[in-house]
Structure 1
Amino acid sequence: MSLPLLNQVPAGGMTVLAGDVGGTKTNLAIYQVTPQGIKMAQSARYASAEYKSLTSILQHFLSDYDLPKPHRISLGVAGPVLNGKVDLTNLSWVLDQSAIARDMGVEKVVLINDLEAMAYGLAGLQPEDFLTIHAGQEKAVGNMAIIAPGTGLGEAGLYWDGKAYFPFPTEGGHCDFSPRTDLDMDLCKYLQLSGGVVSWEKVAAGPAVTSIYTFLRDVKKKEEPSWLTEQLALEKDDSAVISQAALHNKAAICVETMDLFIRYIARETSNLVLKMKATGGVFLGGGIPPKIAPLLMKEAFYRHFMDCDRMQHMLEGVPIQIIKNDKTGLLGAAYYGAYGEW
């Protein structure tokens, strides 16, 4: 993939502290940047909620590995970056790049949306970093799109100008959910009782698995086996328990939950491709798709993806791939830190 190289790297090289900051985890890495390319020197992962601030995590990282102060800091963050500031969507942090620069003693600090960072990171991936759901048209060209179900639902695009791809962020995951069936309508009404506006994030991100399951159990009176009740009480992550039970076909209610979840991801993926005219391909990133890849690779996902209004002839040529590399956003933040125009 060809991305624009807007900044020239100094002949002596430099170091970039790159980060992928989400509501659940923060991945950090130091990259050595030379005119020949970028190379990771050290990386670590931190539980975001266990720290009072992002600056605290950055300082811990440098201290933990006895690392010198970097030349630049480039952070992909889960939320809309406005004038160098962001209120993280699923974490109670407000980040300001000028404040981070002051606290860290680093002159050049930049915040970009985490999905924009993931889009930049695509350029550094290899064929083995992907799983193909649908091959699409050979040598497909045109805009691309990324949808990333995780703690939230991230979405981004890559504009193709005929020579290079230009990533840009969106907040499309917060657009209104569009129910189709009676069951969808009932779920929407159920979610409205506790959450107000029902966006796509409410039905196609990680927490949605538990919400859909609870709706089927409590409203639709689907049976919850006793062993599952016990396991849900013991485990912290209900979504993981439910998805694993579905993957192994251990409980009908879990299978139905994931059938709905997969359908909603497929429908919003299709919506995103249509809105971006992403004929060059669409990528499923984030923490969830690799974990439920066997479900996404089944016929149902592609069938629901194709179930659109009169544009099947366009959708059938679009390659659909799962990003397996969980460091894609980190790599993209490093790329932008090294070469971005900021």
Structure 2
Amino acid sequence: MKNTHQFKLYLPGISAEKNVDCSIISADLRQDKTLVGLYKAESGKVVLKEESEYETSVFGSFSDLVNKFISDHNIKEFCRISAAVPGPVMGGKSAPQRLPWKLDAEDIKNATNADKVSLINDLEASAFGLGNVHDQDVDSIYESGNYIPGNVAILAPGAGLGEAGLFWDGDSLRPFATEGGHCEFSPRTADEVEFYQFLNKIYGIVSWESVLSTSGLFNIYRFIRDIKRQKQPDWLTEEIEAGNFTQAIINGAREKKDRICTMTIDTFMNFLAREANSLVLKLKATGGLILTGELPNLMEEFLNRKQFYKNFIVSDKMESVLKDIPIYLVKNDKSILNGAALYAAFSEE
């Protein structure tokens, strides 16, 4: 992959005097563990200087967590805090369902003595993280011979389903958040109608996040097991009871250990191609599709098989557009943390 220059971001403050040598505390907030880093703005990049990981639920607020990080690393000076949150941010406030507390930028500023606090959606932060990736962080799943610069789509299945976009303004890319993962899932085939009915009894409203996430992967599995009557092998029962389902089902499909493993992963990959297709068409993302997050990285070898691309380009009238969309896998596990820091450093003049 030699095309990271294609991800040129709109960063109007990259040369501003006030942003030179600025120190930033960046956080990637997650349900179980939160990653926090101290960054310094250097030569148009953000450089990670210190980092720590904390149990999210231990703290009474995000401010308490940040102050713990400041104390742990004996940080004397910093100018900004940037927090990537797994949910919508509106008016400097956010109340993500996966976190134990609400966030308010003004309250955090007062509690930490920061000059400025930014809250940013985690997938928007991941989009900004493209400004800090290196060639080795990006694998090409499909390269087009007819590349046309344009909008870019990001799809990230993990604990939830993150979706974001980057608007092409003719010169650079401008990241923006969406909540597309919460759009309703729609079945296409008779088997998928059965799957929808199975999920409808559990959730009522069936979103794409109920299909393309770690819990969604298990939903597919138990549909195949319970409705399609595929046998659950003893070794997989042991892995499920030990809390190792995701890695076990992927390994089982990779090693072709049992039919139920292969069926589960094949179904997940088909749905991933379907939703990728929809997101790209809605954003007219001729600049590319970026897959990232926990599950695509665990399933890289399945993405590189021709079936994913074949399912991705299926369309009533738009196959001629879809067939030329480049597809990339971003493997940097700190892209959200990096992106939140880059946003705080250079998004304003």
**Aligned-residue offset at 1:85:** 0.9
Q: Is the 8 A contact 1:90 1:151 kept in 2?
A: no
Which of the numbers 4, 9, 20 marks the counterpart of 1:3? 9
Deviation of 1:256 after TM superposition, in Å, equals 0.6
1:286 paired with 2:286, answer no
CA contact (8 A) 1:11 1:35 kept: no
> In the TM superposition, what whole-angstrom CA distance separates every residue of 1:250-283 from its partner, at most 9, and x where no partner exists?
1211111111111111110010000000000010
| Aligned counterpart in structure 2 of residue 108 of structure 1, from 92, 116, 141 | 116
1:148 pairs with one of 134, 156, 164: 156
> What pairs up with 1:222-261 in 2 under 5 angstroms?
222-233=230-241, 235-261=242-268
Partner of 1:18: 26
- What secondary structure is seen at the aligned counterpart in 1 of 2:23? strand
In structure 2, the residue matched to 1:55 is 63
Q: Structure 1 length normalisation: TM-score?
A: 0.94
1:54 is matched by which residue type in structure 2?
F
Structural mapping, 1:159-178, within 5 Å: 159-178=167-186
Residue pair 1:133, 1:322 contacting (<8 A) in 2 also? yes
Match among 312, 328, 331 for residue 319 of structure 2: 312
Amino acid at match of 2:337: L
Distance in 2 between the 1:271 and 1:89 partners?
Answer: 25
Aligned with 2:294: secondary structure? coil
Report the 3-state secondary structure (helix = DSSP H, G, I; strand = E; otherwise coil) of the residue aligned with 2:38: strand
Inter-partner Cα distance in structure 2 for 1:46 and 1:136: 41
Q: CA deviation at 1:106?
A: 1.1
Contact 1:11 1:34 (C-alpha < 8 Å) held by counterparts: no
> In the alignment, is the contact (CA less than 8 A) between 2:25 and 2:80 conserved in 1?
yes
Q: Which residue of 1 aligns with 2:308?
A: 301
Q: Is the 8 A contact 2:123 2:164 kept in 1?
A: yes
Counterpart of 2:316, as a letter, is: D
C-alpha contact (below 8 Å) 2:225/2:231 kept by paired residues: yes
Cα distance change of structure 1 residues 57 and 245 upon mapping to structure 2, 3 Å threshold? farther
Alignment-derived partner of residue 131 in structure 2:
123
Deviations 1:276-324 (A, max 9, x none): 0000001001122111111111122111111122111101111001111
Q: Which residue of 1 aligns with 2:329?
A: 322
Q: What does the per-residue CA deviation read over 1:97-144, in whole Å, with 9 as the maximum and x for residues that have no partner?
A: 111112112130010111111111112111211111111235531111
In structure 1, distance between residues paired with 2:19 and 2:244: 48
Q: Determine if contact 1:10/1:34 at 8 Å carries over to the other structure.
A: no
Partner of 1:204: 212
| Secondary structure of the structure 1 residue equivalent to 2:18 | coil
- CA–CA distance in structure 1, aligned partners of residues 8 and 20 of structure 2: 25
- Is contact 1:31–1:39 with CA below 8 Å preserved after alignment? yes
Q: Give 1:49 shift.
A: 3.8
User: Is this contact kept in 1: 2:147–2:324, CA < 8 A?
Assistant: no
Confirm or deny that 1:264 pairs with 2:271: yes
Structure 1: 5+ residue stretches without partners? none
CA contact (8 A) 2:46 2:132 kept: no
Q: Contact conserved, 2:19 with 2:345, CA < 8 A, in 1?
A: no
In structure 1, C-alpha distance between the alignment counterparts of 2:214 and 2:156, rounded to whole Å: 10
Please, what is the CA RMSD of the aligned residues?
Answer: 1.7
Distance (Å, rounded) in 2 between the aligned partners of 1:12 and 1:239: 43
Match of 1:72 among 77, 80, 94: 80
Count of aligned pairs: 341
TM-score (norm 2): 0.93
1:139-184 CA distance string (max 9 Å, x none) = 5311111010011001111111111111110000000111111111
| Cα distance change, pair 36–324 in 1 and its aligned pair in 2 (3 A) | closer
Is 1:91 the counterpart of 2:99? The answer is: yes
Q: Is this contact kept in 2: 1:149–1:206, CA < 8 A?
A: yes
How big is the shift at 1:337? 0.5
Q: CA deviation at 1:45?
A: 2.6
Gaps spanning 5+ residues in structure 2: where? 1-6
Q: Distance in 2 between matches of 1:59 and 1:251?
A: 49
Find the partner of 1:216 among 200, 205, 224: 224
